[in-house]
Amino acid sequence: MKKLNQYILKRRVAKFLKETNRAKRYVDYKNASTILLIFESDYIEKNRFIRKAIEVLTADGKKVFAWGFLDKKMTSTAILPTFKILDRSTIDWFGCPKTPYLKELMEVQYDMVIDLTLSDIIPLQYVCLYANASMKTGMSRSMDDVLDFVIKIPQPEPQEIPENEEERKKTEFQDLNESLFHTDQQYLFEQLIFYLKRIKTND
């Protein structure tokens, strides 16, 4: 089912890009007043870092909307105009958000989308695709055709496993920290903001 949904998503992406004829463009971070954050929710729905990221953007004078997803029958987080976590009850058989949510998404004009997902999550890929935004940013994966600005984050190289038990535990701990460093939402957010603040446009 997942492969079928990925195939359908790929077809819809191609169709959408062809019909909209959307040109890639860059938006100066300073001039971006409305930002959409896309994120994968943690299981307990605390999302402390996402809320911190919202605070950071708000402090920069941005109006922030945040759309997340949790692969759960139903979330406990209240659905608000500026913050929502989609779940299985809000998507169709193909993983696409249901019509009311897509309509709500497309009614808002965003200056910028910041996609903080670390892996391909179909419902959030649809959110990124259909968001009415001047510029879309995120980590390089399978949605590069949709994004205007991507960051490539290399995965850590595998290391040889030491025979010594103590050294093995030490290596596993280091590998874990390295993996988290490379694929953590916070690291991705900080890198995106760092580069976005350095993009200068003539707009």
pTM here is 0.84
| CA 191 remoteness from chain centre | 13
| CA 104 remoteness from chain centre | 18
The reported pLDDT for the residue numbered 21 is 78
Q: How far is CA 189 from CA 107, 111, 151, in A?
A: 25, 17, 10
Summarize pLDDT for 42-100 with one digit per residue, the tens: 999 999 999 999 999 999 999 999 999 999 999 999 889 999 999 999 999 999 999 99
Summarize pLDDT for 184-197 with one digit per residue, the tens: 889 999 999 999 99
Domains of the chain: 2-196 (3.40.50)
Q: Determine phi and psi for 138, rounding to 5 degrees.
A: 170, -170
CB atoms within 10 A of CB 19: 8
